[in-house]
Structure 1
Amino acid sequence: MQMDSFPEEYRALVIGASGGIGAALVEALRADTRCASVTALGRSTEPPLDLTDPVSIEQAAAAVAGHGPFHLIINAAGVLHNDEFMPEKRLADISQAQLLATFQINTFGPALLLRHFSGLLDRQRGVLAMLSAKVGSIGDNRLGGWYSYRASKAALNMLIKTASIEIKRSQPNAVLLALHPGTVNSKLSQPFRGAEIGRAANDAAADLLRVIDGLGPDASGGFYAYSGEGLPW
C-alpha cells in the first residue's frame, strides 16, 4: 500500500500499536517506501501512552513532538470487553463501572489525544484518524444492546466532528476522521466469531489506509467505513 496523497518521506504515528489493527497499520506504513518514519505508541512503548492516564497522554505528545510534524496520526486503540465485562445485552446488565471503563478508553482518552496531538499535524497535509465503529451509528442502530460500546463510539464521533470545526479555523488542511474497520479477526472480536467471520488485520489496515489516502480537507469531521462509504451519525 503506497500513500500517494502524502508527500515523499511523510511521517506517521500510530497509537494503540500493540493491538491487532494497530500492529498491522504499523507494518503497512513501514512497508511503504514513501514513508520516512513510523512512531508507535502504546502502554508498553517508550514513552508509554495509556488512554486511562491523562498525564501519560500529555507527556507522550510532548516526547514525540520532535519527530513531527506528522502527516498521519491514527488511534487504533479501543475496548469492547475485558476480563471483567462483556457487552451488555439488556438494560439490566448496565453498570457504572463498565460504562466508565469503556468510555475511558473509547472516548475520554481519545478526547485528550485530540487536545494534545492535533497540534502535531503537518500544516500542508495532516490527517488524524480514529477507529470508531458502525455500531456507534445512532441512525444505523437496529439491534440494540451493547450500550456502553455503542454510546462511547457515538460520543467519540461527536468529539471528532466538533474538533474538526475548531481545528479547520487554524489548520485548514487538517483532516479529522472517524473510521469503521469492519469485523476483524482480533482479540476484540474473538468472543463474537471474529476468527470465523472477521477479515485479517492486514487486510483491514490496507483498507483503512486506502480510505485515508483518498480523503482531503472537505471530508474532515466525517464518519467512514473501510469501504470508503460514508456512514450515518
Structure 2
Amino acid sequence: MPGGGAPGNAAAELEAASAPSTGAAGSTGAAAPTPTGSPTPSSTRTALPLSPVRQVAPGEKILVTDDTRIWFTANQRCDESRESDGSWHTSFGCRDVRSDNLEHDKPSVYAQTSGNRDRSVVASFYLGPTPSRIVAFFDGKPTVATIVTTAGMKGWTGYYVVLPPMPTGDPSAHRRPAGPAIGVYDAEGKLLAENPGTASDGSDERAPQRL
C-alpha cells in the first residue's frame, strides 16, 4: 500500500469483496482474531433514498473532505490526501478495475478506508450492473453513499461516503479495527454485492439482504 497519507490519519484497505451471502466474511490472508461480540444485524426498516449520482469528467478531482480527494477514469480509481504542509500525496494510489485479482465473474464491491480523529472516508468501486443504492452500515446505522460515473466506464461504478471516525482495534481484547459494511442494491432494494465490516464491539457487521 503506497504511503503518503496525512499525518495522524489511519488508513486501511479492505479488499474482501463478495457477492451477497449469508455466511461469514472470508479471510484476507492472516488469521483474524475471534470477535468478542455477536454479529451486528443491520436493518433499515424504512426506505432509504437512492444514491445521488455525480457525473464527472475523466480525471476530474473530487474534494470529498478538506484533506481527501479522489478521481476516476474509464478504468481506474485514484486518491490522495493533504499533508500538514498543504501538499497532496497518494494514500492508496490508483486501482485498475481490469486487474486479474478482482472478482469479474459476479458482482463485487471493494472498500478503501482512510480517516482521522474527525471523520472516516470510504471511497472505492463496485463491479457489476448499475446499482440504485450503495450504502455503508456501521453499528447498524445506514449511510447512503454517492455514486460517481465518468465517460468510458463499462460494467463498474465508483462511490464515496463520509462517516464518523472509526474506533481503533484493541489487540488485548482480540478486537479487530472497526469499519463499515458496504452493501450495493438494485432498484427493488435487493442486495447485489457486499463487503462485510466490523462493528465497534468487534462483531461482524453485515449489510441486510433487502432494504
Fold agreement, TM-score > 0.5: no
- TM-score normalised by the chain length of structure 1: 0.27
Bigger relative CO (Cα 8 Å, ≥ 6 apart): 2
More strand by proportion, 1 or 2? 2
**Which structure shows the bigger proportion of residues in helix conformation?**
1
